[in-house]
Amino acid sequence: MNKKLKTVMAAVILMGVMAMVEGCGGNRAESQAASDGRTLKVATEAAYPPFRYMDQDKHMVGFEIDLLKEVASRIGADVEIKDMPFDRLLDAVEEKKVDAAIGAITITEERSKKVAFSDSYYKLSGYSLLVIKGNPPVRNEEELAGRIVAAKRGSTSEARAKTLHPKKIVSMDHYSDIFKAVESGEVDVGITGDQAAVYELEHGGSGRLVLSGTIPADDHFAIALSKENPGLREEINQALKSIMDDGTYDRLTNKWFFARAVDKE
């Protein structure tokens, strides 16, 4: 058998083994999810691609949706997702209308007064600054001073922008509103999370918008939970750890971001 043929056969065998492993993992998750009839009620806002959004068939999809379903399967639960505005997510948890909330929710001292948080599952690399093509760039936080800035209502990027002496902050309910505001000239610059900007530019936005700068950030996203349910927090943390350890997390980040999204150390 020549060397080239051996290489091809080895690759085919490897692909077969990987498919078998993935298939077995999927069956395990399905059996766990149906094991005890639990339902995990979770609030989110389905308007932040690629973390979560409605696809063309009106199905909620995205990185956080896949991650949430994987967590639920590992704690032996089905998952019921409720779509609501971002600024209502923590209230829904605190008022026990849901068991948890997921939605690129950054752990902050102020938010921790209302809810408990799981371990972090994503570290934001920075806030992206978007301007319309042909307009002067806004390259860093110093250059936000004196500008009209569009930011997501209730977000940490909005809070950060407010400290940087802009001329005006225009608060928007969705990132899609921010992009439209920049394109229309209503604002000078839009500030968003890193992956939101990349997704918009890769899905048609690059014809109109340009990523002109970034602001460093140290935001850690986590699942929000009731302070009165420490047992659920422990279960979810154990599930997240196993997802990180067995390669599932890297598979999900490659699927949705095409790159490793967090330092797991």
Task: Say if residues 192 and 157 touch (Cβ distance below 8 Å).
Answer: yes
Whether residue 157 is contained in a domain is answered as yes
Tell me which residue range forms the domain holding 79.
Answer: 34-123+221-256
Region 213-230: mean pLDDT is 96
- Of 49 and 29, the structure prediction assigns the larger pLDDT to 49
Which runs of consecutive H residues, i.e. helices, occur in 34-135? 63-74, 89-94
Q: Are residues 232 and 113 in the same domain?
A: yes
pLDDT in tens, 189-210: 999 998 899 999 999 898 999 9
Which pair of tokens denotes residue 150? 């569009």
- Name the least confident of 8-17, 54-63, 121-130: 8-17
Q: What CATH number does residue 136 fall under?
A: 3.40.190.10
Please report the pLDDT score of residue 36 as a whole number. 65
Which pair of tokens denotes residue 146? 């004196």
- Whole-number average pLDDT of the chain: 86
Considering its fold, how many domains does the chain have in total?
2
Distance of CA 125 to the CA centre of its chain: 12
Q: Are residues 138 and 196 in the same domain?
A: yes
How far is the C-alpha of 176 from the C-alpha of 199, rounded, in Å?
Answer: 11
Please report the pLDDT score of residue 125 as a whole number. 84
Whether residue 261 is contained in a domain is answered as no
pLDDT in tens, 131-187: 999 999 999 999 999 999 999 999 999 999 999 999 999 999 999 999 999 999 999
Among 201, 216, 231, the domain boundary falls at 216
